[in-house]
Amino acid sequence: MDTEEFLTRIQERAGLGDASAALHAGRATISTLAEQLTGQEASYLASLLPPELAHLLEAPLLERERLDPEVFFQRVSEREGVSLEQAREHARAVLGVVAESVPSEEEEPEAGNTAGSRPPDGRLH
């Protein structure tokens, strides 16, 4: 999915006024999500995202942190500079579009491309 389509989908799902707001919501959500992913999970997800968001997953974290959903939304709220209620709505929109970007196992390329390959257990945690 290209950048324009990705941001348009976020914009429509979250009811945001423009692509800039969708990008801001996307950055806040993906940055927060990056804190919870392993290196392989982050690489896989980055391979599916537009460059404007994929780069947020490139910096490896020494330790990942599992966040309670409310803590996750609170961090998105802080990063995005919006209310907790808005952050929930925006993050759900972003994660919904991300989920649409993940190909089914039938659509996955054959083994051999390890940089963007699905994690061994077949899912993102």
Give pTM, 2 decimals.
0.80
Percent residues over pLDDT 70 in the chain: 80
pLDDT per residue as tens digits for the range 73-111: 999 999 999 999 999 999 999 999 999 998 877 655 554
Greater confidence (64 vs 10) lies with 10
Q: What tokens appear for 31 in the block? A: 């940055």
Does position 55 have pLDDT exceeding 90, yes or no?
yes
Does residue 124 sit within a domain? no
Q: Report yes or no: 22 and 97 within 8 Å, Cβ to Cβ.
A: no
Greater confidence (58 vs 43) lies with 43
What span, in angstroms and rounded, lies between the C-alpha atoms of 29 and 6? 14
Does position 10 have pLDDT exceeding 80, yes or no?
yes
Write the CATH number for 52: 1.10.490.110
Q: What tokens appear for 28 in the block? A: 């806040």
Compute the Cα dihedral for 72, 51, 13, 108 and give only its sign.
negative
Q: Is residue 65 classed exposed, middle or buried when 0-12, 13-18 and 19+ CB atoms within 10 A define those classes?
A: exposed
Does residue 53 sit within a domain? yes
Q: What is the DSSP letter of 105?
A: T
- Count of structural domains, the chain: 1
